[in-house]
Structure 1
């Protein structure tokens, strides 16, 4: 992998090709976003923008042939590349992973609020989208079970969709940061990620949104709680990695943590929130 990354960093044409190729393959979009993050982190926004423009231009005719419309390029452009490149530039400027993720989360919060401002009741918008999907995917008319699923899902899709875009951007950014450390600063990503800890004001606001959303049910506050709560999953993951490393525990503990993570999302969110105030990493360091 190092040789491939070295080649991409030496050749702009190779970088354009690799970013575009990653977008064409669903399982490789992480590579596409991560490489764009790496280029922006190392070379700056202008260099990242040139690669993004080249990859977009390359994909336009390919999507036109494969999917029948060149507009399909807007999906990787708007949902992966632009968010990743923006966050990479913020990290390059601030040299703070915590500040970068916080700013990304605030932009996501603004996106949720804007969505509500434009559509009023986003549940109606998502219901229409799901109805179109059902017409395309289901062989016959949807039954009562589908209608119940839509009724339950539509009011929650705004928060889920925005948090998914944010999560993809953050994970691609982390991948690019890891590659940057691997090429130019060995060990740098490990210490940076292990020290990830958000500001108290951000945790207070995020915690308030999570609690308010749980009380009020589906709606704006609940969607904001989903977006901000997802961010603190990342802090909890950083806590887990740091504690295992500082205690010298076997990496099997991390494997177990990731296996139960999908089943314990709410407790993990609370762990991330609590760490901001209690600093578990300092309390669980060797000799304490």
Structure 2
């Protein structure tokens, strides 16, 4: 059985100290030989400038592919085109294309209101220069009308030129497998256009619950109860969380998952521990 590829997500640090720490984290995780690192991108100028800064720093720091997130809502085509050209000048060949959230106080949706529009525009502007990842939701996007309409949207993004999709994090392997099988039935070859499993290590109970509630990800009842029972015992939470995520990844690997994308939270551990324990680097 071939080993799945793996990659890591970073978010831009808000301080100079955080920026330096992120570069150190990159150095450590890069030793594991991931396929790429993605860098998140938020609404608003300050967040975007931080994204550009860290993308440029990481490109100069190593040879591993960097995949900047691009969001489109509220932006016009000229802004997106300018950013695409900038990324080309840095040697970027991967992008994560997302709708994003409408900036606070802004009313209009912009010229490219949905991720599907962004994928189409990137292909029109840059042809096949970029490998495009999009988002997918094993437990359904929280704003979707139905699971079927959510699948329709994902299929449309693949057909518009997305090379792969990265799932929202999940802890129920069956939700991932059901989405994968549904895509296959809809004519998407999930080997040629992979469904990459998004993996969120568990290190902090309150943060996990907040993330899950904001993006519609389900935390299994036994996980919620066990985390609640641990209270402030951070060591017990980390060990329990490692076991939960390790067993999830083992199941996915047994089911032939093509790749896993770790939401690193800008930390070396437990991402390094998981990758090594799963034997992905050997």
Q: Same fold (TM over 0.5)?
A: no
Larger relative helix fraction: 1
TM-score (norm: length of structure 2): 0.31
TM-score (norm: length of structure 1): 0.30
If asked which structure has higher relative contact order (CA below 8 Å, sep 6+), I would say 2
Larger relative strand fraction: 2
